[in-house]
Structure formats: structure tokens, C-alpha cells
Amino acid sequence: MNWLRICAAVVVLGWSAVPAAAHPAPFSFVDVRVGAEAVELRLVLHVFDVAHELDIESPPQVLDPAVLAENQQRLVEMIEARLRVQMDGVPLALLPDAWSDAEPIPERQSLQFTARATNVREPGVVAVDVKMFPYDPDHQTFVNVYEDDELTSQAILNDTRTEYEHFMGSRQGRFAVVQKFVPAGIHHILIGPDHLLFLVGLLLLGGRFKHLVLVVTGFTLAHSVTLTLAVLGVLSPPSRIVEAAIALSIIYVGVDNLMSRGGRDVRVWIAVVFGFIHGFGFASVLREMGLPTEALGWSLFSFNLGVEIGQLAVVLVVASAVIALWSRSQVIALRVAYTGSVVVIAAGAFWFMERVFGLGGVG
């Protein structure tokens, strides 16, 4: 978070040092202060960008009180159209005529606007969606979120990233994290054909239901370790190597099934060993989701919980069918297991070739 503060300081200094005729660093600032009884918004915009929106040739003219009074309504409409703040998915209900008159800040060549919403229930998550000046693809907006006057998170939004979520450091915030990341974990395991095929391959030879659950749980515990290490930046192998290794793990499971002759069942160990590799694959998904730094532990736990729920759902369906088949006819069950293992090997080989030669993959 310190680097964001440094960037903000540099931007402020840059604004004051750039001649009015030149295009300054394209930044604006949004402060969201969440209190026990109210939410306050503060928006700072540079005169260069405002002048462009108002079709004013000379940016310093924007600081003229008469010009501001004439364009106040137009500026407020622009802000309301381009800045949206939500509390637990509900748009923030500002007071009527909530936005203050534009306040000139001559030393920063900027304008400041403030607004306030009262009688706000303490939220679990605060979402800011802003694209203040679409005409400039380089424009960035610094977002600062305060909880009871304490700065708790910062983000930089731009032309490609226009939304930011902040999870409050309260019970409601933790519940909001669980609500978001548990379904995300379930969704990812159910749409990830390589992870699912690895699990199905482990289940084909049947066994006691309790043992099959143990296999899946071993997989979960293993990938949880590497998922955490990857998200924390401790270990981060190249995704191309990880995806290729995941494909190899699928091939290995299929081959092991075909070579099995009723000896010692080592599927739990296979699940654990290759679970470490699959964890790096899960980490790439979490990075794309944008993990909240203020709730990193809860988001990791919730995502893993969702993955485990999804896996157990698959186990419940597949394992029940496999166990029923083995109890009815071992000959047929063995044929299905061998045929299924060949399919597993073929799919793993296809993904391996696809990923090794850089043609994209499924993760």
C-alpha cells in the first residue's frame, strides 16, 4: 500500500509543477470514507480534464467561480454518470443535491467535490466503479477507502480496470468474502475439465466411499498449500509449465489405472503429489479475480472451501455410480475403468501437446 501513497504524492507534485498549457499527468482521486452512520465521498479532478469536458480552451479558466457556477449542474451530471459506489451490491443512496459546489484548489490546479449519504447500514463490501474521463485512455483514478478515518485500502483504476471491491474489516466484510469466493471455488472446479478429469481418473477403480473421499481431501489439502504459496508470491512457476504438468498428471493417473493389478492402493498419495501441481493452476484463477489484500486469508479459505464442496459433489455422483457398478458386475466395472482410463490418457495427452506447443489450454 505504501507504493500507492508514494505514487499519489508524485502525482500531486507533478500536477503543481506542470505548466497549464501542457497535458498534466492524467489522474483523478476518489476517497470513500465509511463511518458508523454515514458515507462520505470526495472527488478531485484536474482542470485540464474538466476543461476538455466543458469545451473550455484555457484550463485555468475552470477555477473561475463564475465559470464553475455556470457549469455546476453539468459537472454534477457528469460525476453521477461516471462514478458509481455500491454497498453490498446496492447503489449508495446519496442525499438530494448531495454533491457540493465545485471547490477550486488552485495550488493543485484541481477541483474538489464532496457528497454524503446518511443512515447507511454498515456494509460488508464497498464497490467503486469509475471511468471519469473516457476521452483519455491513459487516465487513471486513485481510489482510497477509509474505515472510521483510517486508510485501509487503495487501488488504481484505469481504462481497462474500472471496478474495485473493498471488503470491510468487520464480520459483515468476512461474510461478504465467503459469499463471493465459495461460489467462485465451486464454479472453477466444475468448469475445469482437467481438474475434474484428474479426479474422475482417481475414482474409476472404485473402492469404499470413505476412501474415495479421503483421496479427494488429500488432493484439496495438497493444492491448498501451493495455492497459498503462489498467491503470497513465495513460489510462482511459469503457468505454461504448470499447465503442461497438470496434463501429465492426468496421463499418469490413466496409466496407473491400466497397470493396476490389485496391489496396494496408492491413490491418496497420487492425489497429494499431483495436488501440489494443481494448486498452482488454481492460483492463476485467483490472481485474475483480484484477491482483496485486506481479506487475503478469508478469501483463500473460502475459495478452497468452494473447491472442496465442488469436488465432493463430483465424488458423490461419480463414486456412487462407480461403487454401484463394481457391486453389480466386477467384469463390466473393470472394462469401464479401463476404457475410461484410456479416455483419460487421451485427453491428458491432447492437453499436454496443446500446452507444450503454446496453442492455449484449459485450466
pLDDT digits (tens, 9 = 90+) for 239-261: 889 999 999 999 999 999 888 76
The model's pLDDT over 120-129, given as tens digits with 9 standing for 90+, comes to: 778 888 999 9
Residues 126 and 182 in one domain: no
Higher-pLDDT residue of 287, 22: 287
User: What number is the average pLDDT over the span 333-354?
Assistant: 92
pLDDT reported for residue 11: 47
Q: Would you place residue 12 in the very low, low, confident or very high pLDDT band (cuts 50, 70, 90)? A: very low
The model's pLDDT over 158-207, given as tens digits with 9 standing for 90+, comes to: 988 899 988 887 788 888 888 888 998 888 888 878 888 998 999 998 88
Averaged pLDDT score across all residues of the chain: 84
Q: What letter represents residue 292's amino acid? A: P
Residues 216 and 144 in one domain: no
pLDDT reported for residue 145: 92
% pLDDT > 90, the chain: 38
In a domain, 362, yes or no: no
Burial status of residue 191 (CB atoms within 10 A of its CB: 0-12, 13-18, 19 or more) = exposed
With beta carbons less than 8 A apart as the criterion, state whether 149 and 141 touch.
Answer: no
- Last-in-domain residue among 107, 137, 168: 168
Sorted by sequence, the CB contacts under 8 Å of residue 56 that are 6+ apart come out as 50, 62, 67
Residues 236 and 112 in one domain: no
Cα–Cα distance list, 5 to 73, 131, 156, 301 (Å) = 32, 21, 11, 29
- Last-in-domain residue among 144, 168, 192: 168
pLDDT reported for residue 347: 94
pLDDT reported for residue 169: 78
pTM score, whole prediction: 0.68
Residues 133 and 229 in one domain: no
Burial status of residue 271 (CB atoms within 10 A of its CB: 0-12, 13-18, 19 or more) = buried
Residues 35 and 74 in one domain: yes
> Is the pLDDT assigned to residue 148 strictly greater than 50?
yes
User: What number is the average pLDDT over the span 214-228?
Assistant: 89
pLDDT reported for residue 185: 87
In a domain, 291, yes or no: yes
The model's pLDDT over 71-108, given as tens digits with 9 standing for 90+, comes to: 999 999 999 999 999 988 888 888 777 899 999 999 88
Residues 159 and 264 in one domain: no
Q: What letter represents residue 227's amino acid? A: L
With beta carbons less than 8 A apart as the criterion, state whether 140 and 133 touch.
Answer: no
With beta carbons less than 8 A apart as the criterion, state whether 265 and 207 touch.
Answer: yes
pLDDT reported for residue 262: 64
pLDDT reported for residue 361: 43
Sorted by sequence, the CB contacts under 8 Å of residue 10 that are 6+ apart come out as none
Residues 287 and 151 in one domain: no
Place of cell 475403468: 337
Query: Containing domain of residue 147, as a range?
Result: 2-168
In a domain, 128, yes or no: yes
pLDDT reported for residue 13: 42
Three-state SS sequence of 182-199: HHHHHHHHHHCHHHHHHH
pLDDT reported for residue 285: 74
Q: What domain count does the chain have?
A: 2
pLDDT reported for residue 358: 65
User: What number is the average pLDDT over the span 110-136?
Assistant: 88
Residues 243 and 270 in one domain: yes
Query: If you write DSSP's letter for every residue of 308-339 in order, what string do you get?
Result: HHHHHHHHHHHHHHHHHHHHH-HHHHHHHHHH
* Span between the terminal Cα atoms of the chain, in Å: 31
Q: Would you place residue 6 in the very low, low, confident or very high pLDDT band (cuts 50, 70, 90)? A: very low
pLDDT reported for residue 16: 45
What three-state secondary structure class fits 79? Answer: helix
What three-state secondary structure class fits 5? Answer: helix
